[in-house]
A and B are shown apart, each in its own frame.
Chain A
Amino acid sequence: MPTITQLFLTVFLLFAASRVVLRFRSGELSLFGFLFWSGIFGLAAIIVLFPGLTSSIAIALGIGRGADVVVYLSVTLLFYLVFRLYIFIEDLRHDITEIVKKIALKDMDKKNDKKSS
């Protein structure tokens, strides 16, 4: 029987995965990006639903104690948020470049109009 924390984290990861699918379908995310982020959130979901796995992995890696699921998921969440922020800033940069380009081309058209009139 999953705990409330597991249910909450699973719902969050499903939401994150749905964002990945939507971005891929709209063409904003490449196939590589889709596979990468799907893998990250898929892995996080497996760890949430089967926390015992982390202990097995920790023992296999010689860490000595079960990895802290919350810490891992927090890092994943931060990673996701930083990625979103990065995309947002990049989009802003591109928008600024687009505006600068349009102004440059428009200014030239104006000058040519003046010359021809």
Chain B
Amino acid sequence: MKLLIGIPAYNEQEMISQVIKSLPRKIEGIEKIDILVVDDGSTDQTAKIARSLGIYVLRHILNRGLGGALKTIFSYFRSKNYDILVTFDADGQHNPSDILNLVKPIIRGEKDISIGSRWQKSRNIPFARKIINKFANIITYLLFSVWTSDSQSGLRAFSKKAVRLINLQSDGMEVSSEFFREIYRHRLSYKEVPIVVQYTSYSQTKGQKLSNAPNVFFRLFMRLLR
């Protein structure tokens, strides 16, 4: 089995090297692990640093948002002969050792998707993040009828079948909730895997912000009206 670890990155020159170096190069049951960074139009040295580490790097000429970067990762996966896809955040909040637990259900063929849930293991999660996530979970349930404890998690694993079926539409942060629409639409099986996150002052400047929540909700709602 071949595994692709896809990292969407935007202006992550401070953390990208550390994140890439920390990723596992061998996992039991996996013959080959490739790492792909999609640099989403960064204005800093993200792509240059990633390239210097000998991994695959795709560069967006314009910043398109998290959804845009994930679409490119999915397209790259489909164009090559991979079996499992893992998406991993570039801000250093994820623990690389969680990848093992995440891919296990996929390797065994038990689930189509596994999603890392930050709320079962992690402590000291900032209050604003908790509120954003609760709000996003409720919206995800109301719009897509799938209940999850962490609709905004960036650590996920997908089987080949799941990647083939998932059709992402959103370009921005709302893409995280969109995965659940696709789970519902294609009746994909999924599992939540408890993961640990490290919230640093750096990672808190990245990702979802409370002020962005109404915009994300509006976009998801308008997408339903299309």
Contacts and interface: CB of A to CB of B under 8 A. Distances in A.
Are A and B bound to each other? yes
13 contacts: A33-B226, A36-B225, A87-B226, A90-B226, A94-B171, A96-B64, A97-B68, A100-B64, A101-B64, A101-B71, A103-B60, A104-B61, A105-B58
A115 to B, nearest CB: 12
A84 to B, nearest CB: 11
Contacts of B71: 97, 101
Nearest to B218: A86
A100 B226 contact: no
Interface stretch (A10-18, A24-32, A56-64, A69-77): A24-32
B75 A105 contact: yes
A30 B226 contact: yes
A37 B62 contact: no
Interface string B38-79: 100100000000000000111111101001100110011001
Given A29-B226, A94-B171, A105-B79, A100 B62 contact: yes
B169 interface: yes
Given A97-B67, A103-B61, A107-B59, 20 more contacts: A32-B225, A33-B225, A94-B169, A97-B68, A97-B171, A100-B41, A100-B60, A100-B64, A101-B60, A101-B64, A101-B71, A101-B72, A103-B60, A104-B38, A104-B59, A104-B60, A104-B72, A105-B79, A108-B56, A108-B76
Contact of A97 (B64, B224, B225): B64
Interface of A: 28-30, 32-33, 36-37, 83, 86-87, 90, 93-94, 96-97, 100-101, 103-105, 107-108
Contacts of A90: 222, 226
Given A30-B224, A32-B224, A96 B75 contact: no
Contacts of A100: 41, 60-62, 64, 68, 72
B6 to A, nearest CB: 13
Contacts of A83: 225
Nearest to A83: B225
A30 B60 CA distance: 30
A94 B171 CA distance: 7
Contacts of A96: 62, 64
Contacts of B57: 108
A109 to B, nearest CB: 9
Residue from B62, B72, B76 having most chain A Cβ neighbours under 10 A: B72
Interface in B184-226: 222, 224-226
Given A93-B171, A108-B58, A101 B224 contact: no
A107 B58 contact: yes
